[in-house]
């Protein structure tokens, strides 16, 4: 199959087609050399085109038990070399895919220019103009104002209902499956709520912990989750991961901003101020907290660029992390996060919505 990748600015790269179709989105990359199944099913990649920096994708097959959701989320995949297993999987998912591209050069371009608009066309009779037409239709990430609806559950779902452990209300802004698994493994009953859940929805659960998940896009487009945090801050312990940290920060008066190329990969170094230790983390985000609210202490920072990686408040019982502590497929340096947040639930509090 023919394939063309049109980059912001109009440059078109010829490739080999592996799964047919057309797509557009924000072109980003991950440096992970394992975990391609987890990355391709991560809801945080919604409306993006994912480039893999590692040259061979698919060298240990495709197994559904590794998936982080029930479908592939990137609009397309770009690799140096892709195995038939992955190509067939993406074709079944109607996700265009290409290889035989110098992804080292492409990653360098993104590192220099930042995440960019991209259009892809794959098929037996596609032309460069088809890819350019897709590029022309590409919408900036911040303009996807209801992206939460594309990745969230439509109705509440309960996991581990028979447990007598902590009750968690998890607001699904695009949650990875392994976040739910990490809480359930520690005995929690997890009520997964839609991204636009109301204060009354949370009050019906009467949780011991309000948890705001990861997810795609601009935190400014998740007003309902911001309102939930604002309603229950100080009334119930609150935790957040990735987008969840940004939402919590905004609810308490902080600001967020778009990064040039984001943090994506499994080797992001994070320093903890209290211990002085540096841990390696998995990350996938294009926005960050620009100014942390006064109510929250910046407890951890990214070693490379100093951006906030952890926000805490003992007085308000809040713990958030910008990275992914569940970290499938690894590293597992920060799994203790889930023990810490469930440790906030020692005394159950009854909450009543206004």
User: Which residue in 73, 191, 263, 324 is the catalytic one?
Assistant: 324
* 128, HSE (Cβ side, Cα atoms, 13 Å): 7
Answer yes or no: are the C-beta atoms of 299 and 276 closer than 8 Å.
Answer: no
Please check if 268 is assigned to a binding site: no
Answer yes or no: are the C-beta atoms of 336 and 288 closer than 8 Å.
Answer: no
Structure tokens at 261: 């190329």
DSSP tag of 155: S
**Helices 243-251, 223-232: crossing angle, 10 deg rounding:** 60
Please check if 246 is assigned to a binding site: yes
User: Which residue in 242, 263, 285, 309 is the catalytic one?
Assistant: 242
Specify whether 324 is catalytic: yes
Specify whether 162 is catalytic: no
Answer yes or no: are the C-beta atoms of 173 and 244 closer than 8 Å.
Answer: yes
Answer yes or no: are the C-beta atoms of 132 and 9 closer than 8 Å.
Answer: no
Residue ranges of E strands in the chain: 2-7, 12-19, 21-30, 48-52, 56-57, 76-78, 81-82, 97-99, 116-123, 157-159, 167-172, 189-194, 209-212, 238-241, 255-272, 278-291, 297-302, 308-313, 318-321
Please check if 148 is assigned to a binding site: no
DSSP tag of 338: H
Handedness of CA 25, 28, 29, 35 (dihedral sign): negative
Please check if 44 is assigned to a binding site: yes
User: Which residue in 37, 134, 208, 326 is the catalytic one?
Assistant: 326
Integer Cα distance of 290 and 276 in angstroms: 22
Answer yes or no: are the C-beta atoms of 244 and 211 closer than 8 Å.
Answer: yes
Please check if 45 is assigned to a binding site: no
Integer Cα distance of 160 and 351 in angstroms: 22
Specify whether 173 is catalytic: no
Please check if 287 is assigned to a binding site: yes
Q: Looking at the annotation, which residues are catalytic?
A: 242, 324, 326
- Binding-site members are 44, 215, 217, 243, 246, 284, 286-287
- Binding-site members for L-glutamine are 44, 215, 217, 243, 246, 284, 286-287
């Amino acid at each position: 199959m023919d394939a063309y990748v049109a980059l912001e600015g109009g440059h078109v790269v010829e490739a080999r087609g592996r799964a047919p179709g057309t797509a557009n989105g924000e072109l980003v990359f991950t440096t992970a050399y394992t975990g391609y199944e987890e990355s391709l099913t991560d809801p945080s990649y919604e409306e993006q085109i994912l480039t893999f920096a590692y040259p061979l994708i698919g060298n240990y097959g495709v197994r559904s038990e590794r998936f982080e959701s029930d479908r592939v989320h990137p609009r397309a995949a770009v690799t140096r070399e892709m195995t038939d297993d992955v190509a067939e999987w993406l074709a079944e998912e109607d996700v265009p895919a290409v290889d035989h591209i110098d992804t080292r050069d492409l990653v360098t371009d993104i590192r220099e220019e930042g995440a960019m608009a991209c259009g892809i066309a794959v098929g037996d009779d596609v032309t460069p103009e088809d890819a350019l037409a897709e590029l022309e239709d590409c919408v900036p990430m911040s303009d996807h104002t209801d992206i939460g609806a594309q990745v969230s559950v439509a109705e509440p779902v309960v996991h581990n209902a028979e447990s007598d452990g902590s009750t968690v209300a998890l607001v699904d802004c695009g949650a990875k499956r392994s976040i739910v698994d990490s809480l359930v493994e520690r005995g929690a009953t997890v009520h997964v709520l839609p991204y636009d859940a109301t204060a009354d929805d949370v009050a019906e659960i009467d949780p011991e912990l309000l948890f705001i998940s990861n997810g795609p896009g601009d935190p400014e487009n998740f007003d309902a989750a911001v309102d939930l945090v604002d309603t229950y801050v100080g009334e119930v312990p609150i935790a957040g991961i990735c987008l969840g940290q940004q939402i919590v920060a905004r609810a308490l008066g902080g600001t967020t901003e778009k990064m040039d190329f984001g943090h994506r990969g499994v080797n992001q170094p994070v320093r903890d101020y209290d211990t002085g230790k540096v841990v390696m983390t998995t990350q996938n985000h294009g926005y960050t907290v620009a100014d942390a609210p006064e109510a929250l202490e910046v407890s951890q920072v990214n070693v490379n660029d100093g951006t906030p990686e952890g926000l805490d408040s003992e007085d308000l019982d809040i713990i958030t992390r910008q990275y992914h502590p569940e970290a499938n497929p690894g590293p597992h340096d920060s799994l203790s996060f889930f023990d810490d947040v469930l440790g906030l639930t020692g005394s159950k509090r009854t909450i009543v919505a206004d």
